Structure 1
Amino acid sequence: MPAIWDLPDFDSHEAVHVFEDRATGLKAVIAVHSTHLGPAAGGTRFWHYADSQSAITDALRLSRGMSFKNAMAGLPAGGGKAVILANPSRSKPAEMLDAFARAVDSLGGRYVTAQDVGMSEADMVHLSKTTAHVAGLPDQGGDPGPYTARGVYLGVKAAAKHVFGTDDMRDAHVAIQGVGSVGGGLARYLAQQGAKLTLADVDAHRAAALAEELGGVAVAADAIMDVEADIFSPCALGAILTEETVAGLKVRAVAGGANNQLAKGGEGRMLADRGILYAPDYVINAGGIINVLRHIDGADDAEINRRIDAIPGRLSEIWKESDASGSTPAEVADKMAQKLIGR
């Protein structure tokens, strides 16, 4: 395994901490990408990795993403990420969580953790008994999904205005991939505005039920990216924009809540070359983290809503610069974020 700073995803990270507690079986990585704007904030992922290098790579990549997301959301927070290497049985005993909480606490507040894949709200409450450096607790705003959904809805409207000259969503056709907390919330917002909806989810029954409720149409999960629509909104898994899928899109814009939508990065140029507007994922889906990190500077509901309301303006700024410079929206967003974190 190469040295950490020789890995492709190492991006002048301030610190990469590796923890092992033999008594509890804990193996974890905490990557601190930047504390330029405040404590490095980002969730903890509990995942069974093929090897330890994959876990480190994930922490490096995700922590950099959190630096960019928090900066572009206007938050007083840097970027960090933790991964706990799950064993094949994916058991998560309380003693191991205690050991991880001690690891977080040992960083003295330079890293603030939160919920992510494989970690529940109850796990966050458990961690908070040992360390104060936990965000997104039940008394700190609750479920981030509705906040993410509202931000994505405002971003979809902004995309419509940029492409079609109006953010009136009446009769606009939006194809939504994934109708969980975020995608389902987005669908309800759009239905209230009279949009035409095509929905898909790996849980076909959930998609069908929501389509019936909102007067939309449900299609198979593997067919949603083939739908001819005005806007495609990915709100499920990441890395869904590949060379193959981008070539097959029949939409004018991609604007959704999924993380890491571009499979390899170059798909951003492919979208631009096809005349498809792209909303950088970490900008449009920032509503959830805006809510989760409210305790960092004591933001109240009014301030949280103000920050979410700023998402469409930030996207418009990115698109205008992209149009003027010829850089893709993803490239423009990255440059803006890098400047904000002093890179």
Structure 2
Amino acid sequence: MTVLNDSVIIHPPGFYIIGLQTLPYISVYIIFLAFVYMVTVLFNCLVIYVIVFNHCLHTPKYLAVVNLAVIDVILSTSIIPNMIKVFLMKDNFIPFNECLVQMYSYYAFGTLESFALAILAYDRMIAICFPLHQNSINTLRSMSYIIGLIWCFSLGIMAYGIGILTQLSFCNSLKVFSYFCDYTPVFTLACNNYTMQWTVATSLTFLILVVPFTLICISYVSILVTVFRMKSLDSRVKALATCTEHIILVAVFYIPLITIFNIAYYLQFNNKDLPLLSLSLASCTPPCVNPIVYSFRTKEIRNRALALVRKIGTDQEKVLEVFP
């Protein structure tokens, strides 16, 4: 127990994760997620390495891409290894403090993921709508400030949101119906979950998804207005082609989440684990898809990644010649 302002706050030793337990072949699904995690780490680290060690890629756009890659690695690490522990090793107990850490990591970097996509949309908007002033408006310094501000905001707002849970007593069940230590399922276990605190939780969800998505929509409305003002059809196609990879990332991140939330809200499932299964897949897939899209769709990254692979292959051949 922790005493705070003459009130007794009761914190349990921990929680039990009980989601996805009724699904058959859940072990196969978790093995698939383990493969997704390895691909996520490998490709994101490759993107980070290629951009960091090639000075010609030190531009605002690729700074934003590195930012997204770093977020993807941490976001995947915050959830998939723990799912392996829970569902493969059958250890579904998580201590209270570790629960808060996992919850904070997932939601903080999920928020950063949303805003990272908004930053990339901003970069495309400046490049297309203000081509003559792009180098003066969107500089490395300004992009660094934007990214730093978003990190401070996201980490700070989620620290406040998770801090609310430390002010609650938990006197109900310790079973969390989710695939990780999720905010809302844990919040509902509290015995003094006041209306104000629930309102704050709803506001955090609004900040995580709605605000970045609105910024992305505003950016693309500006882009479309500029594109349709262009006289040349070829210019229009080239301008929109530069947005292709970003549109794919936005679709992969937002469409599954929006679809799942709407279906879960309007339809009743006989098996409550099915929405959790879909949500877990929608949460774990984007960090894996993002670097693959940028690797194959962006010529600069693709060429330098292939050159790096060839160099590694050549070095291995030289080693085999020395040590046959």
TM-score higher than 0.5 here? no
Higher relative contact order (CA 8 A, sep 6+): 2
Q: Going by fraction, where is strand more abundant, 1 or 2?
A: 1
Q: Going by fraction, where is helix more abundant, 1 or 2?
A: 2
Which has more radius of gyration? 2
TM-score (norm 1): 0.27
TM-score (norm 2): 0.28
